[in-house]
Every structure is written in C-alpha cells, then in structure tokens.
Structure 1
Amino acid sequence: MSTDIRPFRIDIPQTDLDDLHSRLAQARWVEQLPGDDWRRGVPTGYLRDWVQHWRSGYDWRAHESELNRFPQYVTTIDGHDVHFLHVRSPEPDALPLLLTHGWPNSFVEFTKTIGPLTDPRAYGVTSGPAFHVVVPSVPGFTFSAKPRETGWSVERVARMWTELMSRLGYDRYGAQGGDLGAYIAPAMATAAPEHVVGVHIDGGIGFPTEADVPGMSDDERAEYAMMQQWMTGGVDHHTLLRAAPQTFAHAWQDSPVALLSWMLQKFNEFTPMADVPEDVIDRDHILTNVCLYWFTGTVGSSSWPMYEGLGKDGFAWPTGQDLVPTGVYGGGSALMRRLAERDNRVVHWPEGNPGNHFVAMEVPDAHAADIRAFFGMLVP
C-alpha cells in the first residue's frame, strides 16, 4: 500500500463553473407559501437574493486562490485517498494539532482559525502554545474519496487520522473538532491514547438522555425539558438522512439552488442567536463551503455519518473518553458538566465564550484563544 504524500491543488474546470452559473440562471422558483419568516423553511425572496449574489457577486476563482494558499496534500489510508491541509507554525516548539470539521461543513470551517493557531505572534498573541495544524477532509467530503462500502464509523475515521499524524512524523499531538469532529476527536484518543495529548471539542458532551432523568433534581428536569424543545426544533437531518439519503441527494446533486436552500436551512438552525446566518458568518464564507460540495459532488456521500455512523439505532451523543484530558469551548450547565464527567476527564469548561454552532467560522480569534488556553494547560 502506498504511503506517499502527494501535493494537491484545487483547480475546478471552467466548464464546471459555467455549468453552475447556467443552472443558477435557469432556476425554477416556487411561490412563497402562506406564513411568516422561516416557519415553512427558507423564504423564496431570501433564497433568490442569495442566488443572485452567487451568480454575480461571488468570485469562486478568488476564493479558490485563497484556499490554495494553504499547503494541501493527498495520501492513501485504509484504501481511500485523504485530502488534507498541513500548515506548519514558524514557532519551533509548536504542538501538532489535528482539526476535524463538521457536517454540513468542510475544511473551509477552519480557514479563518488556522492563522491565529499557527502564527499567534502575527495576530498579537504572545502567550500560549502555537500549533502545526493538520485539517483533513472526512471521507466522503469534498476532495477525500467517497466511501465505497457500508459500515463506516467515526472510529474508523479516527484510526485513519492517527495514521495520518504518524505518517506526517508527529508522535504527540492534540485533537480538536466540533459537530462531527466532536465524535472523531475523542475517538482518536481512544484509538491512540499514547499519542494524543488532549481532546478539545466545541461542544456536544454532557447532554442528558431519558436514561438520566430518574437521577435529576426538579430544576434539572425543567432544564432537560427546555433542552428537548431546542433539540427537536428545525429539520431533523439525522432522521431525514438516516431514512432516505439517496432520495434527497438526487435533488441536491442536480440543482445548486436546492443544495443552497438545504445548506441555508441548516446554517440558519445552527445560528440560533442570529436573525440570519450571514449576520455572524460572512456570506462568501458559506458560499465557498457550498461550492465545494457542488463541485465535488459530495452532498450524498457526506451524509454517511447520519445513516450509519452516529449510533446503531439512530442519533446518539458522543460517548466520550477518560484516557486523556478533555476541554470544551462551550461547556454548558452544571447538569451537563456532571454528566460529561462520567465519561471524560474534563479539565477545561469555560462559561461565556461567544458564538453559535460553527464557532471557528464565526469567532475564529476566540476559538483559537480557547484552544490555546486548553492545550496551554497540558504542554510546557
């Protein structure tokens, strides 16, 4: 099996870009259904404004060039090509750190965080560790190979990531992620605790389930009821993609407007403290992520975590691990910390950090600062 690491550069054919613009221009628009705002989904007028910007205001070539400023590579692990960014720090004692993106996201999630992590001095930060950053694309996402068989799991991806770090010559390193990455990062520690210094996640541990209710106080039961209302709001993509991922992928693969509408539905739900996603995440940043799904044709293959990877019987929260220290960007309530500490050695649980779900896209400086604070506790 080849272990070669091959340079990679994004170069979308102009014919693909022309095809995208043609499809956007020929979109068939549905009339706005009765009702206000987002109650029945992405409003038609709102979506049309996004599509107009995508056609005439968004410059893919400029963003493609920006992405190509990051050193990128491909290597074959477990029979599958893995695409990754590898940005080394100028600091000689930098800690290697692997960042795993979420869904429906891509390596673009971290493009604004990489600079503050690799070269903090250039951003006015003089304390805390710097990092050699590795950002792989999860199998089935953008430029990594699509799974060719069933049976994929976060544990399998975690083992691929530990092999990637070994292949890059890193013996001790950190693991970080949010959303899907919050499953994979702890699984890396389980797979290779002798190599993982610590696990930092954006959130996702300590959420109660029905099994925890008997041991709750009255106040905690009230808190759990509020959590249930929040968790059952919006479109349940776990159930939708577990039931019929192929069915929905046909539309998303064929129509960029359908794909954009789906992405905006989810990004709107993932930014509950904002009126609309672009209030907290730059519109072009979101469109770059959407473009990568479109150009690589991976909107279907990227759904594998929902239909088989995040629990045998449906959605389940990350199981956690107690082999190495854990830090959390957005910890949550005392109830959540108590439950998180059953399965994790939590040493970092701050309160008041800003941001919604994809904090690396929204508040990259705050995200990088919290990562430095956690790993600064673990390394000299």
Structure 2
Amino acid sequence: MPVHDFTVDVPAAVVDDLRQRLRLTRWPDQIPGSGWSRGTDADYLRDVVDHWATDYDWPAAQNRLNAFRHLLVDVGDPEGAVVHVVHEKGEIDGALPVALLHGWPSSFVQMLPLLPLLTHPSRHGADAEDAFDVVALSLPGYGFSSRPTAPGWDLRRIAEAVLEVMTALGYDTFAARGSDLGAGVLQQLALGHPDRLRALHLSGTNPYLGPIPADLTDDEREFVAQAQDWNVREMAYAMEQSTKPQTLAFALNDSPAGLAAWILEKFNAWSDCRGDLESVYSRDDLLTNLTLYWVTETIGSSMRLYYEAANSTTAAYGRVEVPTGMAMSARDMFPTPRSWAERSYNVTHWTEIPVGGHFLEWEVPNLVAIDMRDFFRDHR
C-alpha cells in the first residue's frame, strides 16, 4: 500500500546532541543597542538558545504532534520518495477535502492550529456542514518528507506529488490552501491540472515581480515600488538560497544556534509582531518548528527548493482560471492590490484581514478558518 502510518519518534540521543551543541555555542559580538536592525538580535537569541538547551520539553512537544494522525505516502518516484502528511477527517461524512501547503521557513506545524477549526467547526461556533477533511502536507525536503536526492524537484514536480498524495488518500478532486512556496506549488497544480481542483484559497504577498506590465494602476505602481524596495532590503537570503544553498547548508546543519538565527529573523520580519516575536507565537511553538528542521536535517534540502524554483525548466506559465479566494493581510510584507492578483488568478473572493502577517494560519487561525468556510461553501 502507498500509505503508511507514521509516529513522530526522535531518538533521545539526537535531542541530547542538540542540547550539547546549544550549550557550546560560540557567540559573535554585536553592536550595542542595534537590536534586530542588522539581523537577529543577540540578546534575544541567547535567551532562546538557553531555553532550548535547558527548559524546552521536546518529548511533550512530540506527544502534542502525535495527537494528530500522521502518514507517509509513497509518491511513485524512482528514488522511493515519500511525503509526510497530517490527515484529519471532518465531523461529517463527505466533508470537503482540502490540502494545506506551508512555505519556508515554516513546516506543517504552521497548519496545526487551523486543523480543529476546519475538521470540527461545530465545536467552534460554526455549522458542521462546513467541515473539511484536512491533509496538511510537508513539502518534499521539509520535515518528515523525503529529502530529494536528485535535481528536478521544483514547484511543478511537487505539485504532481500533491496529486499523488491526494489520489492515494482517495480524493479525486479537492480544495487547496497555501501561501509562500506552498502557493507557488498550488499555482503549478492549478495550471497543470485544473480539473482536480475545486477551488484555491491563498494568502501572502509575493515580492517576485517578473515582467512588469505597462498598464499599471496607481495602486499597482505603489505595489511595484514597495516590492522593489523590499527586494533590495530583504531578499538577499533568497538570492543566496536560489544560487548557493549548499554553502549555507554546511553552517546551518551543524549549528543549531545558527539555524535559529537564520529562521527566527524571518519570523520576526514577516510576522505582525512589531518587534515582539513572542506576542504572536509561544517560544515553545517556535522551538518546535526549529527542532523539526534540526532533527530531520532538512534545512539544506528546504533551501534547495529555492534553487530548483529559480532554475526550473518545467514550470508552467499563464493565468490560473480555477476559482481563487484570497485572504490578504496589509501587515504582511506589504499590501497587494486585488487588481495585481487578478492578473494571475481568477479571483472570485477577496478578504482583507486587519491583523496577522505572513504566517496567517499560525498567527490568526480563527480568521483564516472563517474565510475558508465562507469561500469554499460554494465549491463543495
């Protein structure tokens, strides 16, 4: 059978080694008072690393993860690749299946706060008829999914793997939600197999502009200017990951403090936290995400997806005609006007969310669930 039960079970020796490495961190200096302005704040990171090494309870986190149903799905690849999913059934028979796809530098844990809101809406003040069967995937190269061992695992190849997963789970057609790289995968899926998708639900500003049309509206001109400014100030990480991911992998796969610095800086910059990261996330939730990257040794393979996307020769291009709902936050990287999104998608539903940043499922799961129920109600 292509579907196998899976239990999160990290050997104690791996966790002990992590704690020892954290205790032996060699710290760089920092300009006093510079905070996050030049990168990850050293004082904050020291505090997090100390907590990770001494107080963070990975066995308890592992038990919380195992409260969900985990599966590994063979995706018919010569390498024997498997995709990890969390699969939770809705409270009614025939619930709408929905695939959830995360991006970088998060993982399937970004989706976990959303799951009970979608699978059992009647427990959260909504109608049971709005229930979903949820499949939260770990992208190949992330978490407990296989790390690709050959080139070619670009967004389009991952889209094919999503189809294989959903077919193996018995879903001929399904809805889907994603943001960041997950949204890129779903774009490829919608362009290549529109008949398999009932509708798409997306979030997140995309700072990649591509060719800029000549007939921009005033709002679109402002958007392009903001995106260009963002690319200059914030996109150096993506250029490195798109060109030389292996160089970074040596450092980040060897130093958990370095891994934390690289990832937490992005959560601080992209979340609606206004400089106080733990006003949005609990420290232990942030550390669960980091620990997954560490124990699976997937920081290198996760970054390689940027390289594969930038060098893809198979990516499809065109306008997505699958009905698309967008839940967009003005507190993401920068606001995206609807007219810009409509150049690439058949946008039939548009919601402006007043709070939350780039990781909406984690930051404001209730608002995301409400918008998904509202949008997908016409596509069941």
- Taking the aligned partners of 2:232 and 2:114, their CA distance within structure 1 comes to 30
2:321 matches 1:323: yes
1:206 CA drift (Å): 9.7
Q: TM-score, normalised by structure 2?
A: 0.91
Q: Secondary structure at the match of 1:350?
A: strand
Which residue identity does 2:135 align to in structure 1?
A: V
Matches within 5 A, 1:1-380: 3-33=1-31, 36-79=34-77, 80-126=81-127, 129-204=130-205, 209=210, 211-212=212-213, 214-217=214-217, 220-271=220-271, 273-310=273-310, 312=312, 321-330=319-328, 336-379=337-380
- Taking the aligned partners of 2:219 and 2:64, their CA distance within structure 1 comes to 49
**Which has the higher mean CA deviation after the structures are superposed, 143-152 or 325-334?**
325-334
Say whether the 8 Å CA contact 2:140–2:147 is kept in structure 1. yes
- Taking the aligned partners of 1:219 and 1:137, their CA distance within structure 2 comes to 35
1:34 CA drift (Å): 5.0
- Taking the aligned partners of 2:65 and 2:219, their CA distance within structure 1 comes to 48
- Taking the aligned partners of 1:277 and 1:301, their CA distance within structure 2 comes to 26
- Taking the aligned partners of 2:51 and 2:172, their CA distance within structure 1 comes to 45
1:184 CA drift (Å): 1.1
- Unmatched segments (≥5 aa) in structure 2: none
CA spacing shift, 1:232–1:376, aligned 2, 3 Å: farther
Q: CA-atom RMSD, angstroms?
A: 2.4
Say whether the 8 Å CA contact 1:20–1:256 is kept in structure 2. yes
1:327 CA drift (Å): 0.7
Say whether the 8 Å CA contact 1:27–1:257 is kept in structure 2. yes
1:236 CA drift (Å): 2.4
**Which has the higher mean CA deviation after the structures are superposed, 319-328 or 38-47?**
319-328
Which residue identity does 1:180 align to in structure 2?
A: L
Q: Secondary structure at the match of 1:346?
A: strand
Q: Secondary structure at the match of 2:98?
A: strand
1:199 CA drift (Å): 0.7
CA spacing shift, 1:220–1:211, aligned 2, 3 Å: closer
Q: Secondary structure at the match of 2:18?
A: helix
Which residue identity does 2:47 align to in structure 1?
A: D
Say whether the 8 Å CA contact 1:101–1:107 is kept in structure 2. yes
Which residue identity does 2:145 align to in structure 1?
A: S
1:40 CA drift (Å): 1.6
CA spacing shift, 1:353–1:197, aligned 2, 3 Å: farther
CA spacing shift, 1:304–1:362, aligned 2, 3 Å: same
CA spacing shift, 1:22–1:366, aligned 2, 3 Å: same
1:56 CA drift (Å): 2.4
Q: Secondary structure at the match of 2:337?
A: helix
Q: Secondary structure at the match of 1:199?
A: strand
- Taking the aligned partners of 2:207 and 2:31, their CA distance within structure 1 comes to 39
**Which has the higher mean CA deviation after the structures are superposed, 91-100 or 318-327?**
318-327
- Taking the aligned partners of 2:219 and 2:368, their CA distance within structure 1 comes to 31
Which residue identity does 1:254 align to in structure 2?
A: D
Say whether the 8 Å CA contact 1:321–1:345 is kept in structure 2. yes
Which residue identity does 2:22 align to in structure 1?
A: L
1:85 CA drift (Å): 1.0
Q: Secondary structure at the match of 1:176?
A: strand
1:217 CA drift (Å): 4.7
1:58 CA drift (Å): 1.4
**Which has the higher mean CA deviation after the structures are superposed, 189-198 or 148-157?**
189-198
CA spacing shift, 1:235–1:174, aligned 2, 3 Å: same
1:210 CA drift (Å): 5.5
Say whether the 8 Å CA contact 1:176–1:199 is kept in structure 2. yes
Which residue identity does 1:93 align to in structure 2?
A: G
1:30 CA drift (Å): 1.5
1:237 CA drift (Å): 2.0
- Taking the aligned partners of 1:310 and 1:175, their CA distance within structure 2 comes to 24
Q: TM-score, normalised by structure 1?
A: 0.91
CA spacing shift, 1:274–1:122, aligned 2, 3 Å: same
- Taking the aligned partners of 1:243 and 1:83, their CA distance within structure 2 comes to 27
Say whether the 8 Å CA contact 1:94–1:132 is kept in structure 2. yes
CA spacing shift, 1:335–1:45, aligned 2, 3 Å: closer
Q: Secondary structure at the match of 1:171?
A: coil
Say whether the 8 Å CA contact 1:353–1:366 is kept in structure 2. no
- Taking the aligned partners of 2:6 and 2:318, their CA distance within structure 1 comes to 34
1:118 CA drift (Å): 0.5
Say whether the 8 Å CA contact 1:206–1:337 is kept in structure 2. no
Say whether the 8 Å CA contact 1:182–1:204 is kept in structure 2. no
Say whether the 8 Å CA contact 1:189–1:321 is kept in structure 2. no
Identity of aligned residues (%): 38
Q: Secondary structure at the match of 1:29?
A: coil
Q: Secondary structure at the match of 2:233?
A: coil
1:376 CA drift (Å): 1.2
Q: Secondary structure at the match of 1:347?
A: strand
**Which has the higher mean CA deviation after the structures are superposed, 324-333 or 132-141?**
324-333
Q: Secondary structure at the match of 2:170?
A: coil
CA spacing shift, 1:187–1:288, aligned 2, 3 Å: same
The C-alpha deviation readout for 1:216-265, integer Å capped at 9, x for no partner, is: 35564344323322343235221011222111111111111111111111
- Unmatched segments (≥5 aa) in structure 1: none
The C-alpha deviation readout for 1:262-302, integer Å capped at 9, x for no partner, is: 11111111125521322212221111010000000011011
